[in-house]
Amino acid sequence: MLPFGARLREQRLVIRFALASLVAFVALGIALSAIIARQFRLRGEAQAKAHATFVTDSILRHELERADLRGPIDPSSKRFRQLSAFVRSRILEGAGASEFKVVRIKIWGKTGTVLFSDARALVGMNFGLEDDIREAFEGIPQAGVSNLTAAENVDERGLADKLFETYVPLRLDGKTGPADAVVELYQDYAGIQREITDGFRTVATALLIGLAVLYVLLLPIVFRTSRTLSEQNVRLGQQAHRLEELLQKEQQRVAELRELNRLKSNFVAVASHELRTPLTSIIGYAKTLRQPQFADDGASRREFLEAIERQGDRLFQLVENLLMTSHLEDSVLKLSISSFSFPELVRDVVEGLGSSRDQVKLALAPDLPSLLTDRQYVAQIAQNLLNNALKFSGPGAECEFGARWFPGSLVFWIADHGIGIPSEEVGRVFERFYQVDSSSTRRYGGIGLGLSLVQNLVDALGGTVEVESQLAAGSTFTVTLPLVHPSVAERYGAGTRGGGASDPGSNGHRAPAAAVESGVPAAAQTA
Ligand code: ADP
């Protein structure tokens, strides 16, 4: 089925063709009719001329004698009456088809004198040698429609509306050569016209019927052809549209690859710098420690060792994030599901911050339920968010680590009062390698992987992460996690998931543990 637009175009095309071809057919019909009419007229007049020649050669010649042509035959003579009677009975009223009927006859002498005519008043008159008569004397018959204006035609004007005149050379011996006289015969053109009209009508009717049939046969062919063309047009249009879409996708992909390439190059520079900074510190502190003056300085040694530990932790975190990102790229992220207490995990993570631990204020709801999910991943999410909160706040600034639970889920947040994120950038901070300030002069370290890793880990745990931020006021990252990892919930039924089963007010906080007790290994490996 063609679309509406294509159908309309097709109908317009057919109507246009129908009209144009109708005009062409009518023009062709008129042109052909004119040609045919002319041919029939020539044919009719040629037949009339042939009839006049026949009358002269086969009828009149045998009746005439050489003496008759010496001068005008006296109309009161016996010979004239004899000839007149013959002409009337054999030519004017007798012989020949009615359509070529001879209505007048004149015999011209060489000087232009009428020697004989059925109109006796003309006999003996001299009208001079007209061109037609002269040429007929030279042996060439002349014929044409008479306009009856010549003086010699005064008498013919009442015979018919239109006459056809033929000048036939008369040779009494029937041989070729100069004529002895010229016989002029007038035929009523109405008869010739009838002959012309009859023939023309038959052929013209056949022609018109033929053209009409051709026209009618042509229309369905055009209709089908235009339909096929329209369908092909629609198909071509669809293909062009598909190609355009593919091209756009391709261009988008190329742009994405270019951006990725740029980010990766940027990343290499940033990562090298980020790795070198803690390493330089560690090496510096280690060299200092080896100097003899610090051998017995317990306080300084402790301070340097703590600094080495801090920088080591920073390096560890960096390498951990890199490794995890590369695991994610290879799609080998594995889950290790176990039941654990969230407050304990929070304490471990905060302890791991070393000297910054005091900047973190806890706001954990009492009776937080146990979680049955991947503990290490949850810890990594919290670590990354905490590190950012501390990093993007002023030195010594506090941040809040809070948590509360809902039926089936645990929500925790890390809020700081740091530099905040511009509103137009908030949507991009979870992209890999993305940093609000990625310039070489930026104030804060980092390689732009922390939040993308957080997003991936939260996804792997079946949760969500959101950020609310205000420039120069601070940011709050909120993570929502199911109490029971979806893969376990699926395997052991909805009873372990959400609702009353995980409601700590009833036995909800024991539900994950119950699931473990009822057969889930303490560390279930899920690809
Ligand atoms: P980085 O290694 O640069 O910290 P992340 O992926 O952890 O990379 O964060 C991406 C970017 O998001 C950071 O460079 C920073 O611009 C912005 N960002 C993340 N956390 C915070 C925060 N708590 N306060 C302000 N900006 C933040």
Model pLDDT for residues 195-211, shown as the tens digit of each residue: 889 888 998 899 889 98
- Alpha-carbon distance of 410 to 400, in angstroms, equals 16
Residue closest via CA to ligand 1's atom 7 equals 450
pLDDT value for 469: 97
For a mutational test of ligand 1's pocket, the pick from 317, 390, 421, i.e. the residue with the most ligand atoms closer than 8 A to its C-beta, is: 421
CATH of the domain at 418: 3.30.565.10
* β-bridge pairing 360-364 and 181-188: unpaired
CATH of the domain at 24: 3.30.450.20
CA atoms within 13 A of residue 390's CA, in its CB half-sphere = 18
Give the mean model confidence (pLDDT) for residues 26-41: 90
Angle between helices 375-391 and 342-351 (to 10 degrees): 50
Rounded to the nearest angstrom, the distance between the alpha carbon of 281 and the centre of ligand 1 is 23
Residue closest via CA to ligand 1's atom 19 equals 388
Q: Which two tokens stand for residue 478?
A: 């909120």
Q: What is the mean pLDDT of the chain?
A: 86
pLDDT value for 2: 63
Of 424 and 507, the one with more pLDDT: 424
Q: Which of ligand 1's atoms lies nearest the C-alpha of 438?
A: 14
CATH of the domain at 304: 1.10.287.130
Which of 314, 332, 350 is at the close of a domain? 332
Rounded to the nearest angstrom, the distance between the alpha carbon of 472 and the centre of ligand 1 is 14
- Alpha-carbon distance of 9 to 15, in angstroms, equals 10
> Taking 70 as the threshold, does the pLDDT of residue 338 lie above it?
yes
> What are 497-520's pLDDT values in tens digits?
443 334 443 333 333 333 333 333
C-alpha 153: how far from chain center: 78
Q: Are residues 364 and 391 in the same domain?
A: yes
Residues 103, 187: contact at Cβ < 8 Å?
yes
Shortest CA distance to 87 belongs to which of 65, 74, 69, 106? Answer: 106
Secondary structure of 484-503 in HEC code, one letter for each residue: ECHHHHHHHCHHHCCCHHHC
Residue closest via CA to ligand 1's atom 12 equals 429
The residue behind tokens 């052809």 is: 225
Q: Are residues 319 and 448 in the same domain?
A: no
Q: Which two tokens stand for residue 512?
A: 């994950």
pLDDT value for 493: 67
> What are 380-423's pLDDT values in tens digits?
999 999 999 999 998 899 999 999 999 999 999 999 999 999 99
Shortest CA distance to 388 belongs to which of 410, 415, 351? Answer: 415
Which of 231, 253, 282 is at the close of a domain? 231
Q: Are residues 134 and 76 in the same domain?
A: yes
Q: Are residues 308 and 223 in the same domain?
A: no
pLDDT value for 266: 78
Rounded to the nearest angstrom, the distance between the alpha carbon of 189 and the centre of ligand 1 is 113
Ligand 1 is surrounded, with C-beta below 6 A, by 388-389, 392, 416, 418-421, 429, 434-437, 446-452, 475
pTM of the entire predicted model: 0.52
Residue closest via CA to ligand 1's atom 21 equals 388
> Taking 50 as the threshold, does the pLDDT of residue 521 lie above it?
no
For a mutational test of ligand 1's pocket, the pick from 381, 400, 435, 442, i.e. the residue with the most ligand atoms closer than 8 A to its C-beta, is: 435
* β-bridge pairing 399-406 and 360-364: parallel
Residues 395, 370: contact at Cβ < 8 Å?
no
Q: Are residues 277 and 327 in the same domain?
A: yes
Q: Which of ligand 1's atoms lies nearest the C-alpha of 419?
A: 25
> What are 229-259's pLDDT values in tens digits?
888 989 999 999 999 999 999 999 999 999 8
> What are 123-170's pLDDT values in tens digits?
999 988 888 899 999 888 999 988 777 777 777 777 778 899 999 999
Ramachandran bin of 474, using left for φ above 0, alpha for ψ from -120 to 50, beta for the remaining angles: left
Structural domain including 469 reads: 337-524
Give the mean model confidence (pLDDT) for residues 282-294: 92
Residue closest via CA to ligand 1's atom 14 equals 435
Q: Are residues 224 and 245 in the same domain?
A: no
Residue closest via CA to ligand 1's atom 13 equals 435
For a mutational test of ligand 1's pocket, the pick from 451, 468, 471, i.e. the residue with the most ligand atoms closer than 8 A to its C-beta, is: 451
Rounded to the nearest angstrom, the distance between the alpha carbon of 427 and the centre of ligand 1 is 12
> Taking 60 as the threshold, does the pLDDT of residue 60 lie above it?
yes
Helix (H) or strand (E) holding 403: strand 399-406
Three-class secondary structure of residue 118 per DSSP: coil
Phi and psi dihedrals of 76, rounded to 5? -95, 0
Rounded to the nearest angstrom, the distance between the alpha carbon of 318 and the centre of ligand 1 is 14
pLDDT value for 513: 35
Q: Cβ–Cβ contacts within 10 Å for residue 134, how many?
A: 16
Shortest CA distance to 308 belongs to which of 278, 275, 277, 282? Answer: 282
User: Alpha carbon of 157 to those of 102, 104, 127, 160, 186: distances in Å?
Assistant: 15, 11, 17, 7, 11
Buried b (16+ CB within 10 A) or exposed e, 211-228: eeeeeeeeeeeebeebbe
pLDDT value for 440: 65
pLDDT value for 178: 80
Q: Cβ–Cβ contacts within 10 Å for residue 235, how many?
A: 10
pLDDT value for 272: 86
Which of 305, 332, 359 is at the close of a domain? 332
- Alpha-carbon distance of 155 to 192, in angstroms, equals 21
Q: Are residues 364 and 478 in the same domain?
A: yes
